[in-house]
Structure 1
């Protein structure tokens, strides 16, 4: 659901704090005495939280450093999770409550990772607590305490620091803390909380690895902020007397909250597989699933100035840990998945819009978009962390793997090696000039420190320029986007690696490639078109190309790609919110790239050890069934011929189910 009732709540909350509220526009015919505004904390609620944690697992445990972004890495790094609870407010303003939460840690900070025989980390930790507070109207300080539990994991490493195996232990203990919660509008409250967790010691037996036993004794401090939404009850704000014609909590256009959750399960049966390499799709068949939950928080700072934050929890793996296919079938599958949710602040960016006057357009309330009006002629500057695809290579029919086509080669211009870390995001700046019938936008971004890396750097960089043209054909709207890009990253030359390996065939070509990486350029272009051909029927197509001389840096192993398809809404068969899609893609490699793979090279996602080259061909079709206004269930089928460009492998049929919710 859409939430927009916040800033006014701050003002009303302040009035409630001293026990009165003034109706500013009371007419002479109304009562002179202003009614009292009362807030009641009683009710069930659920919500989410983000924050930062620190502490220790005990001496000699080699805590795995988790990302703190602007804060130091720690055993937890940034944290995020969910909570659910119930409050009961008594006549003396004492509030008693119970709350349970689950918290998940950040991904590993690879820049702080040092080779050691083992590392210790959390999978998750959770609490079940009582709360005692005192209600000062819409403000409630409280203390809290109860039981805590969690799971730690010990990773055994080889001599190079790479993971060999993992074992886990469950811990139980106690927690205590304090916080303050306050009403911010409608059924929403916000809170800030400190908590300490003391979990009992557990011992890991490492005798089989030739190492002494390790005692893990987690003691964790956390600082969290969160939002709670009260369920089912009547609105918690109520006056002691009615105010004719007035709304106690007017809607705000300066603050909004949205959320999404997506679960995707994919599987394929046994395929032809006469040989396999490091990155081959297993021949025996496999099933995997992914799950994400994202909050979209927006705040209007001033006229034209907006701040957006998108905390996200993600867990699960793509098929074969997102390896074995260039056109990968699950757009939610991140590189480097996890069996338990991992928390990241995926987006945090500031946007300033400068209107140039003239005609205006309405802006609907949406995720990462505040309701209002804006000049059609405008300049927009965006700075922060985001996905390049948030602003470039858009398409109305094939862009969102949570809602439409799922294959990487269908929702993107696949030969655009857009700068990104493992989950697909970067940091940078974008400037856009928009006019009624066209727009031009350009961006400058950080790139990974090396191929398939989670560390972003400005030592090199990526840039893209896109021109967008809007038109009507027989009164049907359409768009054409043309983009040109260049990335400068720490990559190796395919021909360079092949030449060195040819002079000394005893060398491993992947080791050779790693040794010759230096600052190198990759450039290319994409063309992206969409056209409505009838009411609720649209077609689309993309063509993309890169020079294919140096390693892929960020996205996937594709140097040339063409894709096209059709999208039809269900209004034609009485299901207006359903969608059916049918499309296909053909992916290819440069001659240098295919020779590298044929010599045993590995790419970001592919590498069979040898190669009988053929273009990778993809057919995808889906039906998205709208369960209600919030949830959609999708059945998706993909046929991939010559997976990873290898005629000796496959074809593979991939069956997927997707449940997606938007709020």
Structure 2
């Protein structure tokens, strides 16, 4: 019988070589156990080898580094290269989707569309080379044909096709650095490239790729600014590393029967999120205003972020995480006008086109101390496995301070719960951060079953509201976390103390100099008064489950309030609290209702500074009729699918920016959040 099937397979020809081999192996596997059955020695058949099939739809993301030229006299703007030098594209990244068809001769034909976005401005490099204007490439999009050859799980390929992009010129102020008037144009052209793609595990493939992009020449008329016309002709070099998820022949569907193409691996993971958050308010009382005041006429703005969470296990206890993130849009009034700002997704470095940053890249080493272990589920920036409950953890790299400090189960993530800055954070903790909210440093934690203690040392910006982190000064925080049960309901209490040293001005000194020299601008005096000064403070953070699916949170924070705020927002004292209720009570267990409030305040020195016309990080009306800023926030998070949530949010804020002469303001928000 087996000989017969062997002859049949032989007639099928060369393309069924592997099936014929499988039949022969299966024959031996059946005969040998029968011959040795009395000895009870079972043998296991060897699996037949199969070739990887590249056919199907796919989608993914990429990041990398590149450079570009725009033509003579175009003054390309230097963009951040992270660990590489600044360039005209800097650290870049985006997303792609496409389709492959593998032929019988292993040639792979495909089509791919992608978008690649440039990095953020490198402030230091820009200040070293001032110019009357600067040229920037905002993004490049392509639609390309691909031809590859499949060496099983390896596929080298070449590509080429149509390209387009958007450039803009920023006319600068007299200092040659401050951007004043952006003027943009779309340009078309062509692209060609080559690369190598490799099937990693599950349905994931990784690729390395180089693309050259040539866009058409466009003329910018700058005569209205007293400048000559500028010819912009982009020539772009892009080096990319990417990941693709292979869907198979049917788009947006997992392979048949949910089976992956290759075995899964627990040594690395990929997660992603995207959040769209529109927000607006109507006309408010506004008898006077400055550029840092909420506009009295009302305003609507929106932010959009997309983040990839990549993790890899290096060795036992050693892990590395990398989070490139695209961010686009602005908070209302450019994230100005409120101390407790209303949008936790709004960055101080907003942009009309998506900008990519390497927001997190850090190494994590866990040292188990033995004893009982706990399961660690797969999650963003968390690899599945087991770890000792008693352990020491060391983290070094770039991250947000809030990733490891001041946590709370009910009010911590503006992508999932409360949006206001004074609700998801201890508002008076001036945590070290650049404009998007991240820093570089080290954290060490000792964890026990019922408590933990952790501390961190971080870089701080070189000046208030700066995007440049420096080593000359720094910030530190120590936090103690206690875990308990009250009437069998779990809870946590966190107590933290912080200290920052940075280049800031002293409020009292600035006000005194301004009073003695009325002809001088108080904000010019503030800059001149900046030197290395300290700020310290404390916070207390409670979370407590009341009954199943109902929990409360409360925070209180304070800082000394004598010197300028360096990184976060203009708050010296803050208390907040509220409730979180899951929808199990009305038949929707994945929905959440949240309601809470916050009261923010300033030190006497800080009040006098603002009343004299000073401006802070986010606020400054030119004068001040002081009253504490009061915030009420309520939201309903409606779970649409297992991976998508729509949230409706309302915030009522009295005395915005501590000014009883302004507002109140009602802010309405929506939030669409998806993650996997």
SS in 2 for 1:231: strand
User: Could you report, residue by residue, the CA deviation over 1:428-477 in whole angstroms, capped at 9, with x for unpaired residues?
Assistant: 00000000000000000000010000000110000000000000000000
Q: 1:247/1:213 Cα in 2 relative to 1: closer, same or farther (>3 Å)?
A: closer
Alignment of 1:412-427 (within 5 A): 412-427=425-440
Q: Deviations over 1:472-503 (max 9, x none)?
A: 00000000000000000000000010111111
The match for 2:114 is 101
Mapping of 1:257-296 within 5 angstroms? Answer: 257-296=270-309
Q: Return the index of the structure with the highest Cα Rg.
A: 2
- 1:294-443 equivalences under 5 Å are 294-443=307-456
| Structure 1 equivalent of residue 236 of structure 2 | 220
Q: Partner of 1:404: helix, strand, or coil?
A: coil
Give unpaired runs (5+ residues) of structure 1.
1-17, 239-245
- Aligned match of 1:54 in 60, 64, 67? 67
Q: What is residue 153 of structure 1 aligned with on the other side?
A: 168
After TM superposition, give the deviation of residue 247 of structure 1 in Å. 9.8
Q: CA deviation at 1:249?
A: 4.0
In structure 2, how many angstroms separate the alpha carbons of the residues matched to 1:248 and 1:208?
Answer: 59
State which of 120, 123, 127 in structure 1 corresponds to 2:142. Answer: 127
2:248 and 2:574 map into 1 onto residues whose CA distance is: 50
For 2:486 and 2:395, how far apart are their aligned partners in 1? 32
Alignment length (residue pairs)? 638
Q: TM-score, normalised by structure 1?
A: 0.94
Aligned residue for 1:574?
Answer: 587
Q: Does 1:197 align with 2:210?
A: no
- Which consecutive unaligned segments of at least 5 residues does structure 2 have? 1-17, 34-42
Q: Output the CA distance in 1 between the equivalents of 2:99 and 2:262.
A: 23
1:33-52 residue pairs with structure 2 within 5 A? 34-52=47-65
**Superposition CA RMSD, Å:** 2.0
| Matches of 1:255 and 1:69, distance apart in 2 | 23
Give the C-alpha shift of residue 236 in structure 1. 10
Q: Could you tell me how far 1:33 is from its partner in structure 2? A: 6.2
CA distance in 2, matches of 1:208, 1:370: 56
Q: Does 1:521 align with 2:534?
A: yes
Cα displacement (A) at 1:34: 4.3
Q: Given the alignment of the two structures, is residue 140 of structure 1 paired with residue 178 of structure 2, yes or no? A: no
> Match for residue 584 of structure 1?
597
Cα deviations by residue, 1:342-379 (Å, 9 ceiling, x for unpaired): 00010000000000001111111100000111000000
Q: CA deviation at 1:209?
A: 1.2
Correspondence for 2:508: 495
How many Å apart are 1:147 and its aligned residue?
Answer: 1.2
CA contact (8 A) 1:142 1:180 kept: yes
User: SS of the residue aligned with 1:38?
Assistant: coil
Provide the rounded CA distance (Å) in 1 between the counterparts of 2:491 and 2:225.
62
Map Cα deviations across residues 274-328 of structure 1 (whole Å, 9 max, x no partner).
0101200000000000000001011000000000000100000000000000000
**Structure-2 residue corresponding to 1:166:** 182
**Cα displacement (A) at 1:587:** 0.1
Provide the rounded CA distance (Å) in 1 between the counterparts of 2:594 and 2:102. 52
- Where does residue 67 of structure 1 map in the other structure? 80
**CA offset digits 1:50-87 (Å, max 9, x no partner):** 00011211121111110001101011100010101111
- Select the residue among 164, 181, 195 that pairs with 1:179: 195
Is 1:618 aligned to 2:621, yes or no?
no
- Whether contact under 8 Å (1:37, 1:237) holds in the other structure is no
User: 1:162: Cα distance to partner?
Assistant: 1.5
Aligned twin of 2:204? 188
Shift of 1:250: 3.7
Structure-2 residue corresponding to 1:117: 132
Q: Which moved more, 1:195-204 or 1:467-476?
A: 195-204
Which is bigger in relative contact order (C-alpha 8 A, separation at least 6)? 1
Match of 1:15 in 2: none
Q: Are residues 1:535 and 2:548 paired? A: yes
Cα offset, 1:106, TM superposition:
0.5
Task: Specify the SS of the correspondent of 1:39.
Answer: coil
Matched-pair contact (CA < 8 Å) for 1:428–1:446: yes
Q: Distance in 2 between matches of 1:366 and 1:312?
A: 17
Measure the CA separation in 1 of the matches of 2:114 and 2:367.
42
Taking a change above 3 Å as real, the CA distance of residues 247 and 408 of structure 1, as seen in their structure-2 partners, is closer
Determine the C-alpha separation between the residues in 1 that align with 2:48 and 2:182.
Answer: 62
Q: State the partner residue of 1:8.
A: none
**Aligned mates of 2:59, 2:45 — CA distance in 1:** 39
Aligned counterparts of 2:260 and 2:327: Cα–Cα separation in 1: 39
1:600 aligns with 2:605: no
User: 2:198, 2:403 → 1: CA distance?
Assistant: 33
Q: Does 1:229 align with 2:245?
A: yes
Cα distance, 1:237 vs structure 2: 9.6
The 1:91–1:236 alpha-carbon spacing in structure 2 relative to 1, beyond 3 Å, is farther
Distance (whole Å) between structure 1 residues aligned to residue 74 and residue 453 of structure 2: 53
User: 2:478 matched to 1:465?
Assistant: yes
Residues 39 and 236 in structure 1, CA contact (< 8 A), matched pair in contact too? no
Q: Residues of 2 paired with 1:276 and 1:592: CA distance?
A: 21
Query: 2:272 aligned with 1:255, yes or no?
Result: no
**2 CA distance for matches of 1:582 and 1:222?**
47
Query: Secondary structure at the residue paired with 2:614?
Result: coil
After superposition, what is the alpha-carbon deviation per residue over 1:512-559, rounded to whole angstroms, capped at 9, x for unaligned? 000010000000000000100100000010000000000000000000
| Counterpart-to-counterpart distance in 1, 2:260 and 2:649 | 46
The Cα of 1:36 is off from its aligned counterpart by 2.2
1:80 and 2:93 matched: yes
CA offset at residue 231 of structure 1? 2.1
Aligned equivalents of 2:261, 2:606: Cα separation in 1: 65
Distance in 2, Cα, partners of 1:138 & 1:123: 35
Deviates more, 1:38-47 or 1:390-399: 38-47
Aligned pair 1:89/2:102, yes or no? yes
**Paired residues of 1:41 and 1:236 also in contact (CA < 8 A):** no
| SS across alignment from 1:107 | coil
Among 212, 224, 227, the alignment partner of 1:208 is 224
The whole-number CA distance in structure 1 between the counterparts of 2:408 and 2:292 is 31
User: How do 1:553-568 and structure 2 match up within 5 A?
Assistant: 553-568=566-581
Alpha-carbon distance in structure 2 between the residues aligned to 1:554 and 1:405: 21
Residue in 1 that maps onto 2:37: none
Larger helix share, 1 or 2: 2
Q: Is the CA contact 1:129–1:147 (under 8 Å) kept in the aligned structure 2?
A: yes
